[in-house]
A and B are shown apart, each in its own frame.
Chain A
Amino acid sequence: MTQTIARPDRLTSRPRIVRPRSSTQPVGRAASIPFLAPAVIFVGVLLVYPFLASVWSSLFDDNGFTQRFVGLDNFGKLVADPILARSLLNTLMWVVGTLVLPVVLGLAIAVASNSLSRRWGAFVRGAIVLPYAISGSATAALWHFLLESHGAVNQVLNTVGLGGLTTSWLLNWPQNTLSMIVASTWQATGFSVILFLVGLQSIPRDTVEAASIDGAGGWRMFASIIFPQLRPVTVVVVGMALVNSLKSFDIIWVLTQGGPARTSETLALTMYRETFLLFHVGYGSAVAVLLTVIVIAAAWLYLRTQLPRVR
């Protein structure tokens, strides 16, 4: 055990400077305003103002040319719309699907590839991460080729004698929504892998070595030592996945446009359809307000329960 030697001479020689408190605080507070202003303006202009504009727009019957004030009629119509239930259910499926699949797969792939040799690990990570660089629309175009009734998936199934498993993947609910979640997972998993790898590589080596000395290995090592230390990264990954899933749009738009017959429509699709296809601008804004409220509430609840309180 190392002995710590006190140095009383240094402590006594350090002068204690007393500052006049009454003149410090006002100056400090006022001085911070110029530094905060750009951030506040940025958020106000790009986030708060558009949201308030949407709320205002949702109070009107607006066809893109003329407006008529109708109060909360648009929200009343929204609640009465039978498609809203399907839209919400599909959105919920997307939330659950994109929380479970990309996050869990991302974690598994990150842990597995992290333990591989340098060369093989890099190859595996590249194969998984590369799709993340592809846009949602490009992903959808590729998966359309795979999933349509005459597409590659059905052709392969027929070729290997599993013709009984072929189906019209994009035509019937819930297969169409589930198929698109799989396509989205293929594209989005790379993001989780990257973040988890960063987390894994920031775990102090000595904690792993200590556990190893104590005989922990494999699953026990992961469950008790590694995963708890990934908590900060996990919070971010799940949070991002939660928010992004609520806004899923481009993959759905290219693959099914929310169809056929609106069976695979999500809230984002409903908003787009009402505003830009039917030019029910007020109603579309009401959907946008609902979507925004859901997103903010979900993000806030999640962060509130996940982030440790700072004392």
Chain B
Amino acid sequence: MTTRRSVLGAGLALSGTALATAGCGVGSVTPPGTVSIYTDNPGWNASLQAGGAVLRRRTGVGLTPQELPSTTSFQQVIKASLRTRKTPDLIKWWSGYRLEDLARTGGATDLTDIWSAAEKNGWVRPTLRPAFTSGGRIYGLPMNLAFWVVFYNPKMFAKHGVGVPKTWAELEAAAALFASRKITPFFGTTAGRWPAFIWFQEIVSKLDPDFYERLMSGRARYTDPTAVRAMRLWKSLLDRKWFTPLDTSDSDAASLLKQEKLAMLPFGTFINTNFAKNGMKPGVDVQAFVLPTVDPQTPRSVIFEASALMLPRKAPRREAALRLMRQWLAPEAQTAFTYGLQDGSPDPLVKPPNPLVAGLLEQTRNVRLLNRFWESSPPALVESAVDDLGSFLLDPSSYPTVLQNLQDKADAEWAVWRNDS
């Protein structure tokens, strides 16, 4: 009895040492006459189906959205699948360095001809071209055009006699007034890790858009004076307790805006779906403005974000996918897709889906577009950087150490990046 029980116990304990690894398969059934597109965002399915219906009429090829469980496992599965014959037909990916990260492996298809034809037709903004370029060639088509702006509740602003800030001084004055009335001036968070960069990208770009681009591309340093000034400015806002708790999610922030407990919410326009869920009508219950520059004479800029429609070189239904992609940017297809997203479109011929986006297009006319932090540096660098920026948010006085850590990581990752080129 004792011997048998001991052996059983040993077996149970030892079996616990197994380190199980759960794998995600990419295999799925795609209806005939359609190509599959893999995304990390289930909220896009309806829009993709709407756009897909138009594309089927124009090309004979339909679109079947497939979602993978989370952004992280999505990246893992896609990267692994590109080396095999079990890739998806199409992939919703990121632009900038993340697209380049895939393109230079040889796993993506050159789409330069498709882009050139679209540009000739006036179906795509030429200014977006660099975000989809690697080694001088195009490897993705833009799927959306989100602007990173500041959302606010116009009724609450009117109630408190606050106008839309046109200068940084007006922004701080508005924040001080709201704070004095127990309303949190700004949304800031580390929930989900990545949002830690939001205020950093906004402040740096509003101090000096040229410096922002040089910093992102490794031609300026995180220890340079402009970066230091940005952190000090950010710290001065944090020290005044003008931000939400760091674990506030963006969907909670949308609720706070409606409840008039939060004044200003910097985020990408894809957050519109969260406002809709709270019963907020764009243009009526929620509006948006571009963050003003810190110094009045600084050139104005706005951060944008555009997802990339990518075609793996080994896509199973490659020719069908190419036929679909040639019409992806056609105004009719983009209209169906964009109205589902309630966001901006990379096609300037598409009418804005709501007054908020229309207003932003007006505000950003002739304003410089800068790609988001997340897409603007090597992936390994930005993934590490958001943790460093998170440590700054926990302890704002740590900014000198944080900037040095950021630069140390930048040195290491840029060396790796350039060596891999």
B383 touches A277 (CB 8 A): yes
Determine whether B163 belongs to the interface, using a CB cutoff of 8 Å to chain A.
Answer: no
Residue A172 at the chain B interface, CB threshold 8 Å: yes
Q: How far is the CA of A236 from the CA of B252 in the complex (A)?
A: 43
Shortest beta-carbon distance from A78 to chain B in Å = 15
Taking a contact as CB atoms under 8 Å apart, the answer to whether A168 and B12 are in contact is: no
Q: Which residues of A lie under 8 Å from residue B6 when comparing CB positions? A: 232, 307-308, 310
A276–B80 alpha-carbon span in the complex (Å): 11
Given contacts A171-B394, A260-B390, contact A243 B17 (CB under 8 A): yes
Encoded as 1 (CB less than 8 Å from any A CB) or 0, chain B from 189 to 224 comes to 010110010000000000000000000000000000
Residue of B nearest to A241 (CB): B16
Docked-complex contact A261 and B388, CB < 8 angstroms: yes
Known interface pairs A243-B17, A261-B190; A308-B2 also in contact (CB < 8 Å): yes
CA distance in complex: A47, B16 (Å): 11
Q: How far is the CB of B409 from chain A (nearest CB, A)?
A: 10
**Among listed B227-235, B243-251, B287-295, interface-contacting one:** B243-251
In the complex, B366 has a CB within 8 A of chain A: no
B394 near A235 with CB under 8 A, answer no
Q: Residue A63 contacts which of B72, B391, B420 (CB distance < 8 angstroms)?
A: B420
- Distance A263 CA – B390 CA, assembled complex (angstroms): 10
Most buried by B among A65, A247, A263: A65
Contact B12 A236 (CB under 8 A): yes
Q: Are A299 and B391 in contact (CB under 8 A)?
A: no
Q: How far is the CB of A219 from chain B (nearest CB, A)?
A: 26
Instruction: Give A171 to B246 CA distance when docked, in angstroms.
Output: 7
A residues near B2, Cβ cutoff 8 Å: 232, 308, 310
Whether B79 is near chain A, meaning CB under 8 Å from some CB there, is yes
Q: How many residues of A contact B (CB 8 A)?
A: 45
Counting chain B residues whose Cβ lies within 8 A of the other chain, the interface size class is: 35 or more
Query: Is residue B14 contacting chain A, with contact meaning CB distance below 8 A?
Result: yes
CA distance A50 to B379 in the complex (A): 28
CA distance A51 to B20 in the complex (A): 11
Chain B residues whose CB sits within 8 angstroms of the CB of A51 once the complex forms: 19
Taking CB atoms, residues of chain B closer than 8 Å to A235 are 9, 13
B5: interface (CB < 8 Å):
yes
Known: A278-B379, A278-B384, A292-B17. 17 other contacts (CB 8 A): A65-B79, A149-B246, A168-B246, A172-B394, A232-B6, A232-B9, A239-B12, A243-B16, A259-B390, A261-B388, A262-B391, A263-B394, A276-B72, A276-B75, A278-B383, A303-B10, A310-B3
Q: Which 10 residue pairs are nearest across A and B when measured between Cβ atoms? A: A149-B245, A261-B391, A239-B13, A243-B16, A261-B390, A260-B190, A260-B390, A236-B9, A278-B380, A148-B247
Chain A interface (Cβ within 8 Å of chain B)?
46-47, 50-51, 63-66, 148-150, 168, 170-172, 232, 235-236, 239-240, 243-244, 247, 257, 259-263, 276-280, 288, 291-292, 295-296, 299, 302-303, 307-308, 310
21 residue pairs A–B, Cβ–Cβ below 8 Å: A65-B79, A148-B248, A171-B394, A235-B13, A236-B9, A236-B13, A243-B13, A244-B16, A260-B190, A260-B393, A261-B390, A261-B391, A261-B394, A278-B379, A279-B379, A295-B19, A296-B17, A303-B13, A303-B14, A308-B2, A308-B6
